[in-house]
Amino acid sequence: MGRHYLAIEQAYRDGTPTAWATSGTSVEMLYTFDVQPILPENAATISAAQKVSKKYIESAEDLGFSYDLCSYFKTNVGAMLNNAPIDLGGIKPPTFMVAADVICDTHVKWFQVQSQRYKVPLYIIDVPHVTSNTTNKQKEYYQSYVEEQMLELMDWISEITKKEYNEEKSREVITNSYELSEYWIKIFELRKTIPCPVSTKDTFGGIFPLFTMPGLKEPIRVFKKMYQETQERVDNGIGALENEQFRLLFSGIPFWYNLKFFGILEQWGAIIVFEPYTYSFGKFLDPSMSKEYIINNPIKAMAKIMLSFWYIYDLETRVREFKRVIKEWKIDGLILHNNLSCRPNSCGLYDLKQRLMEEEGIPSLVIESDMNDPRKMNEEQLKNKLESFMEILQKSKKR
C-alpha cells in the first residue's frame, strides 16, 4: 500500500495528472492514460484504521451532512476540511474525478459535492441496474451504453491529459489487472481447503491493490507470492486457525476501525473463509471474460466488469451464488453486516437470510453496524449476538 501512496505523492510533486475514482469505476482506464488513480474510499479506511474517522465524520456533520449519510463520504469530506496528512487518510483535490452509479448513488452524489467544492471536472458513468428479471437482450444494450460511455470517457481524459489513447497500453493494463485478479481468485480457491489457509485478516488487509493498482505489474508479484505461500500452507495442512471448527462467510464491508473484533471468533474455533466483498474485486468473474477476450477487447472488458460486478448482483443471482459458495467453501453459517452507511449493501439481506435458511438450512446472523463510523458499533451487543449465534451453530453441528 505504501507504494501506492508514494506514487500519489510523486504525481503531485511532478505535476502529472491525478484522478479520484470511486470503487467499481474503471481504474484501468486511468492507468491506460498514465493518470494516477486515488480512491477516496480507500483513503477513508486508512482514517478509520488510524482511529481518526470519527473526528472527520463529525467535521462533515458540522458542515451540514446528515448523521445517516455514508461514513466513507463524510470521512473524506472531514479529512479534506482538516487537511489530514496522507498517513491519516488525507488526499488532495485531483486533476479530475470519475464516478459511477454501478454500486451506489452515494458515489455519484459524493463526487458531485466534492467536484463542485474543489472545482474539479467530473465524469459520471451511468451503469444500468441489472435486476432479478433482466433479460439477455436488455443486458446487450446495457453493455453498449456503458461501452459508449467508456469511449466518451476516453476522449474526455485524452483532452484533459493531452494524451492520445494507446491501444497497446490499454491491453497491457487490462492484462495486468486480469493477472492480479487471477491470483486473488486462486487464493480464494485455496480457501476451500479444510483447514482454511488464509483468514479474513489477510484478505481484508490484502485487498487494497485490487482497488488501487489493477493495471500495474508490482502488485502481481506480491499477490503471486501470497498465492505461493498459501499453496505451501495447504500442502502442509496448515490452517490459519489451529483448531478449525466452524467455517463462516462474512458479507459486507468490515469495521475498519476495529478489525481485531473478528479475533473473537477464535474462541469458538470459527474462521471466516469467504467474504463476497473481497471476492467481488477479483472482478473478471463473468465466465465470458477469458484472458483472450479481454486482451482483444480491453474497452469492452472494462464495461463488462462494471455490469457484472459480484457485489451488486440482483437478489436472484445473489441467492444462487451464495448457495454455490456455501457448498464449495463448506460454509456452516453466515454473518451479514447490515451496514448503516450503505443502502445497496443492506437491502436484500433479510431475504437472503431467509432463503438460505429455508432452502439450504444454513443459519445467518444479521448484525448492525457501520464500516467507518465507530459511533455506530455497539461492541458488547455484537459480542452477545455472536455468542448466541455460535451456540446455535454448535448445536446444529452436533446434530
Partner 1 sequence: MAYKIGYIDPSFNTPEELIMAANLIPYRIFGDPTIDLMDANKFVPPNHCFWARNCLQRGLNGLDKEIKGIIITHACDCSNREYDIWFEHVSYDFYYYLNAPLKRDKLSLKFFINDLKELKFQLEEHFGVEITDKKLYEAINLTNEIRKLLKKISEYRNKGLLLGSEFHAIIKNAYKSDKKDVLHNLKEKLKKLEIKEPLPYVDGSKKRILLTGSILDDTEILKYLESLGFEIITDDLCIGTRYFHNKIEITGDPIKDIANFHLSKPPYSTEHPSSGRFDFIKGLAKKYQVQGVICLVQKFCEPLLYEYPFFRDSFKEMGMPFIFLEKEYKRDSYNQLTTKFEAFKEILGGVKK
Query: For binding to ligand SF4 (CB under 6 A), which residues are involved?
Result: 41, 70, 72, 103-104, 106-107, 253, 341-342, 344-345
Distance CA 209, CA 27 (A): 11
Omega prior to 195 cis, within 30 of 0:
yes
User: Shortest gap between Cβ of 349 and ligand SF4 (angstroms)?
Assistant: 13
Cβ-contact 90, 84 below 8 angstroms:
yes
Q: Which amino acid appears at position 366 of this protein?
A: V
Residue 279, number of CB atoms within 10 A of its CB:
22
Cell numbers placing 346: 443492506
User: Shortest gap between Cβ of 6 and ligand SF4 (angstroms)?
Assistant: 25
Which does residue 72 bind out of partner 1, ligand SF4, none, counting CB within 5 to 8 angstroms by kind? Answer: ligand SF4
Sheet-wide strand order for 96-100: 36-38, 18-21, 96-100, 122-125
Which CB sits closer to ligand SF4, 107 or 355?
107
User: Shortest gap between Cβ of 62 and partner 1 (angstroms)?
Assistant: 10
Nearest-CB residue to ligand SF4? 342
Which does residue 396 bind out of partner 1, ligand SF4, none, counting CB within 5 to 8 angstroms by kind? Answer: none
User: Shortest gap between Cβ of 372 and partner 1 (angstroms)?
Assistant: 15
Q: Which amino acid appears at position 372 of this protein?
A: N
Cβ-contact 274, 188 below 8 angstroms:
yes
Classify residue 93 as exposed, middle or buried by CB count within 10 Å of its CB (0-12, 13-18, 19+): middle
Which CB sits closer to partner 1, 87 or 152?
152
Which does residue 208 bind out of ligand SF4, partner 1, none, counting CB within 5 to 8 angstroms by kind? Answer: none
Which does residue 107 bind out of partner 1, ligand SF4, none, counting CB within 5 to 8 angstroms by kind? Answer: ligand SF4
Which does residue 93 bind out of partner 1, ligand SF4, none, counting CB within 5 to 8 angstroms by kind? Answer: none
- Residues at the interface with partner 1 (CB under 8 A): 63-66, 68-70, 73, 101, 104-106, 108-110, 112-113, 116, 124, 126, 128-129, 131-134, 137-138, 141-142, 144-145, 148-149, 152, 314-316, 338, 340, 343-344, 346-351, 368
Which does residue 272 bind out of ligand SF4, partner 1, none, counting CB within 5 to 8 angstroms by kind? Answer: none
Which does residue 157 bind out of partner 1, ligand SF4, none, counting CB within 5 to 8 angstroms by kind? Answer: none
Which does residue 347 bind out of partner 1, ligand SF4, none, counting CB within 5 to 8 angstroms by kind? Answer: partner 1
User: Shortest gap between Cβ of 106 and partner 1 (angstroms)?
Assistant: 7
Q: What is the DSSP letter of 163?
A: -
Which CB sits closer to partner 1, 137 or 260?
137
User: Shortest gap between Cβ of 158 and ligand SF4 (angstroms)?
Assistant: 28
Which CB sits closer to partner 1, 145 or 268?
145
Cell numbers placing 193: 481447503
DSSP-derived 3-state class of residue 124: strand
Cβ-contact 274, 249 below 8 angstroms:
yes
Which does residue 64 bind out of ligand SF4, partner 1, none, counting CB within 5 to 8 angstroms by kind? Answer: partner 1
Which CB sits closer to ligand SF4, 115 or 345?
345
User: Shortest gap between Cβ of 11 and partner 1 (angstroms)?
Assistant: 27
Angle among Cα 340, 346, 352 to the nearest 5 degrees reads: 150
Three-state SS sequence of 230-281 = HHHHHHCCCCCCCCCCEEEEEECCCCHHHHHHHHHHHHHCEEEEECHHHHHC
Which CB sits closer to ligand SF4, 71 or 177?
71
Which does residue 118 bind out of partner 1, ligand SF4, none, counting CB within 5 to 8 angstroms by kind? Answer: none
User: Shortest gap between Cβ of 105 and ligand SF4 (angstroms)?
Assistant: 8
Torsion over CA of 146, 148, 153 and 159, rounded to 10 degrees?
180
Largest CA distance in the chain: 67
User: Shortest gap between Cβ of 188 and ligand SF4 (angstroms)?
Assistant: 21
User: Shortest gap between Cβ of 57 and ligand SF4 (angstroms)?
Assistant: 12
Distance CA 322, CA 385 (A): 22
Closest residue by Cα to residue 8 from 41, 38, 47 = 38
Residue 128, number of CB atoms within 10 A of its CB:
17
